Amino acid sequence: MAYGITDLTTFILGTIFIVLLPGPNSLYVMALASRHGVAAGYRGAAGIFAGDTVLMLLSTAGAASLLRSTPLAFMLVKYLGAAYLAWLGIGLVRAAWRQWTARPAQAGTARPTDAKLERNAGRPFRTAFLISLMNPKAILFFVSFFIQFVDPDYAYPTLSFLLLGLIVQACSALYLSALIFGGVRLAERFGRHQRLAAGGMGAMGTLFIGFALRLASASLG
């Protein structure tokens, strides 16, 4: 045992498995990269890192206990998060429909859908940050997961949580980087097929709506 961490190998393996589970964070970053390139994808990833860091800090400060002991606060956060994800999903579906029904763009002419998406892409950090924060169960997860690997008798538990948090962020950075470059490759391959790209955008929007419904039905259990 080093730095108060009881089972580092198991923690790393569990973190990798959890990071690989699909969710709105990874989906949004991949969508950003596929539509607006590597730089936009990494701005979104930075928002995810910031949001996850805030959740970790809130978890260690006892925010999870507050949500557990105050059902009204949990319900408020839960439904606000679900509404925000649904709003993003509906926006993607509407943009996909406009792109599907639009006439093929002439060379050198930007489609109205593309122009609107470019304006929305100017705030990837803020959007990703809010997506990351809008999941109250994540706070509960960070507490229940971290606490299993920290020795309660260790003199500096803050150091233990810091090291575990860095491991989570490193795994997340590697995964999001793969999604960013994978999204750019997919965009290069299918970008000339207007309806295929619209179908992919619509599928992403539908997934966001699905995440919203799942979050709205989440419980504290």
HSE of 46, CA atoms in CB hemisphere, 13 A: 10
Q: Return the pLDDT at 190.
A: 62
Contact indicator for 131, 84 with CB cutoff of 8 Å? yes
Beta bridge partners of 5: 2, 150
pLDDT score recorded for residue 130: 87
User: Which residues, other chains included, contact 77 with Cβ-Cβ below 8 Å and sequence gap of 6+?
Assistant: 67, 134, 136
Q: Mean pLDDT, consecutive 10-residue segments, the chain of 221 residues?
A: 78 83 81 86 93 81 63 74 77 74 52 46 81 71 70 77 88 92 77 62 76 70 54
pLDDT at residue 46, rounded to an integer: 94
Model pTM score: 0.70
Q: Can you give the pLDDT at residue 220? A: 54
Residue 111: per-residue pLDDT: 45
The pLDDT score that the predictor gives to residue 47 is 93
